[in-house]
Every structure is written in structure tokens, then in C-alpha cells.
């Protein structure tokens, strides 16, 4: 992919006789193309098709080097051919069943998407954002790699995108039933931000089911009782032989509560994975 196109340059505007202008809707671009081609057919071809052919010819060697650079980056640096889990979630060298890999692998990739891809997209064409988030020198220019990470920059992009609304630019002038509603891009950004926030802030801070259900506390009390009776060793801690009726009831209640919390977490994890699958078509830059 080219970083710039000659057909979008100031020279192309002069050659075409009509300025290309800034972003437009698909309908806006279609209308602009039709009007410009009709007004200056030859000049339009020279600026749009002619400059593209000339650029492709002149930059062919550089583009092939660029292809090699991106291959090396995708293959050995960013690993864009694979879903990977953070060592915090799955320690390298340990076994993890396939069913337990889905959640961390999927959401670790979402984190990379926000903190790396969207973070870079946020500063790519915005000088104010570049000054605010200050990407390092080695992340700029021809030798840049997918290595710079900035959660703040990624979230700033999602905030901007989530506030986009349907207006005249999107073919919804005042009075249109969709005027003022969030755009398709905004809805996607809202969902991505919610999923990212859940994985980063909510999921890792959920109480341990055994702690929340009372099982950990029950085990502590039984351990203390075993020690007070002269027993040593964990084999007696949970034994019903040491428990009275009240303790057995507490044990069962704590176990049931802990199991219920675990099941609730499993349902929540599954629902969030489904939401991530449903938003997959919006995960691109």
C-alpha cells in the first residue's frame, strides 16, 4: 500500500483543473467524479489514471522492497498470521487446552489492535495527535515496525470515532430520520471500546470464585481447627471427619456459591467472545 498517491497531490489538482477536496461519502465521490470527468475529460484522465500509471512505473522497485519489508514484519515481528496469548495469560512452555486458549488469544489480539494499530492510525495523519502522544522516531518513516504501543492514543481514536454522527456529510441533512444518530463506524468504535475495557479492567479484577463464594474462608477455618486438634498436614483440612453439622452445611453452601460464580464467569466470557466475533468486520485500519 502506498503512503501517498500522486493523483491526490496539489499537482494533480492543478492538472485536473478541479480540487479533489477532503473526505466525502460514497455518493459524494460518485457525484464529484461524474461532474469532474464531464467538465475536463482529458485532464481528468491525466490526473487520475495517467499519474497512477506513472507512479506505479517509477516506484516499482521501491514497492517490491516494501513488500519484502512488510513480509518480514508480518512474519517475524507482528506475527499477523497467528493469534497469540500474552505470557501473563498463558505462560510460554505450559500446556493449555484449546478451549481455554480462545478467550485470551482473541482478547489479547483485540488489545494489540487498539493499543498498536488504532494508536498508530490515530497519529498517522494528525499532527496534533503526534505532538500529544509523541511516537518515537524509530516508529516513523520507511523503517518503521509495528512495535509502538500506546493505550492512550488507541482510546483517543475510539473516543473520536464513537462520537461520529449521521449528518449532511453522510447524506442525512436535518429532518432526515437518521440525522444525529451514531454512524456505523461510531457503533463499532463503541463496541470495541467496551470489549477492550472489559478485558483490561473488569475481567482481571473479578473476585476469585473461591474467595467470593466463601470456600477460601471455610478452608482457612478448617485448617485452623485441624491445627488446634493437633493434626498437621493438609490431608485433614477438608475432611468431613473433623466437621460438625454446621461446618458441613457451611462447606456445602460455600462450594455451591463458588461453583455458581464460576459458571457465571464462564457465561460472561462466552458472551464477550460472541460479541467480539460479531464486531470482527470492524477490526481493521
- d(CA 109, CA 79) in angstroms, rounded, equals 11
Assign 278 a pLDDT band (cuts: 50, 70, 90): very high
Please, what is the Cα angle at 27 between 23 and 33, to 5 degrees? 75
Assign 56 a pLDDT band (cuts: 50, 70, 90): very high
Mean pLDDT, residues 251-276 taken together: 97
- d(CA 272, CA 136) in angstroms, rounded, equals 34
Span 110-119, pLDDT tens digits = 999 999 999 9
Is residue 22's pLDDT more than 80? no
Mean pLDDT, residues 232-257 taken together: 77
Is residue 142's pLDDT more than 70? no
Assign 75 a pLDDT band (cuts: 50, 70, 90): confident
Residue 204 burial (C-beta neighbours within 10 Å; 0-12, 13-18, 19+): exposed
Sign of CA dihedral 183, 184, 188, 194: positive
Q: Is 182 helix (H, G, I), strand (E, B) or coil?
A: strand
Domain segments of the chain as ranges: 59-204, 206-275
Q: Locate cell 507512479: which residue?
A: 55
Among 108, 121, 109, smallest CA distance to 148 is for 121
Cβ proximity of 226 and 237 under 8 Å:
yes
Residue that wins the pLDDT comparison between 185 and 77: 185
Highest mean pLDDT among 5-14, 131-140, 200-209: 200-209
Span 194-239, pLDDT tens digits = 999 999 999 999 999 999 999 999 888 888 887 787 776 555 555 5
Residue 12 burial (C-beta neighbours within 10 Å; 0-12, 13-18, 19+): buried
pLDDT given for residue 2 in this prediction: 66
Amino acid at each position: 500500500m502506498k503512503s501517498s498517491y500522486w493523483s491526490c497531490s496539489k499537482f494533480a489538482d492543478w492538472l485536473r483543473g478541479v480540487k479533489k477536496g477532503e473526505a466525502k461519502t460514497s455518493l459524494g465521490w460518485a457525484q464529484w467524479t461524474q461532474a469532474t470527468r464531464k467538465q475536463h475529460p482529458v485532464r481528468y484522465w491525466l490526473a487520475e489514471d495517467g499519474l497512477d500509471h506513472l507512479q506505479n512505473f517509477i516506484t516499482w522497485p521501491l514497492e517490491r522492497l516494501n513488500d519484502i519489508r512488510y513480509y518480514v514484519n508480518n512474519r517475524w515481528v507482528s506475527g499477523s498470521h497467528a493469534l497469540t496469548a500474552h505470557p501473563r495469560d498463558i505462560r510460554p512452555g505450559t500446556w493449555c487446552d484449546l478451549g481455554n486458549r480462545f478467550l485470551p488469544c482473541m482478547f489479547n489480539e483485540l488489545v494489540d489492535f487498539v493499543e498498536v494499530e488504532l494508536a498508530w492510525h490515530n497519529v498517522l495523519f494528525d499532527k496534533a495527535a503526534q505532538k500529544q502522544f509523541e511516537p518515537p522516531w524509530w516508529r516513523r518513516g520507511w523503517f518503521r515496525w509495528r512495535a509502538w504501543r500506546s493505550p492512550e492514543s488507541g482510546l483517543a481514536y475510539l473516543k473520536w470515532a464513537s462520537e461520529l454522527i449521521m449528518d449532511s456529510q453522510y447524506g442525512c441533512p436535518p429532518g432526515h430520520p437518521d440525522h444525529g444518530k451514531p454512524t456505523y463506524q461510531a457503533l463499532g468504535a463503541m463496541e470495541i471500546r467496551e470489549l477492550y475495557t472489559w478485558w483490561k479492567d473488569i475481567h482481571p479484577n473479578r473476585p476469585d470464585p473461591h474467595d467470593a463464594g466463601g470456600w477460601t474462608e471455610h478452608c482457612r477455618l478448617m485448617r485452623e481447627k485441624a491445627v488446634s486438634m493437633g493434626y498437621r498436614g493438609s490431608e485433614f483440612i477438608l475432611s468431613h471427619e473433623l466437621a460438625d453439622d454446621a461446618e458441613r452445611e457451611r462447606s456445602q453452601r460455600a462450594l455451591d456459591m463458588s461453583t455458581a460464580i464460576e459458571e457465571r464467569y464462564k457465561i460472561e466470557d462466552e458472551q464477550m467472545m460472541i460479541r467480539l466475533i460479531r464486531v470482527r468486520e470492524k477490526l481493521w485500519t
